Amino acid sequence: MEEEGVVRISISIPPDLLRKFDDATERVGYSDRSKAVRDAMQNLITESKWLCEKMGKGVGVIVLSYDHEAKDIEGALMDTQHRFEKIITSSMHVHLNKNNYLEIIAVNGPASDVQNMAQELKTKKGVNQLKLAIVTP
């Protein structure tokens, strides 16, 4: 039986973390802390369920930044994207500054393929950061 309504909880966190969280929620435009916490909890549930089960379809984006000056980084990234072309629906390439670029890749396919592609891209020399964001269709 599913309960309706809300449940009040109490948590203990360091003051600095709360200050950063409140600053972030204000920047993003949340009207109250509870809504921001609920959204963060839902995102964690969705991502952890998908990552742990690796079942079904993976729909979302892979966002990565990389150093354009790294040896053959663009070729390595392109090779990986070609191997996983069946799950890529779109991509965008952005120049952040002289050496740093941003790649945004929309994906839709078997969850294991999405995870494997993200992992392969993450390990390329020259990739500074990679974030996989999954949504439930």
Closest CA to 137 of 112, 105, 103, 111: 111
Q: 0.85 cut: is pTM over it? A: no
Q: Rounded CA gap, 37 and 34, in Å?
A: 5
Q: Rounded CA gap, 28 and 17, in Å?
A: 16
Domain locations along the chain? 15-53, 57-135
> Would you identify the CATH topology of the domain 57-135?
Alpha-Beta Plaits (3.30.70)
60 by Cβ neighbours in 10 Å (0-12 / 13-18 / 19+) ranks as buried
Per-residue pLDDT of the chain (137 residues; tens, 9 = 90+): 456 788 888 999 999 989 999 998 999 898 889 989 988 888 777 766 766 565 677 788 999 999 999 999 999 999 999 999 999 999 999 999 999 999 999 999 988 898 899 999 999 999 999 999 887 66
In 1-58, which residue ranges form alpha helices assigned H by DSSP?
Answer: 15-28, 33-53
For tokens 């309504």, name the residue.
Answer: 5
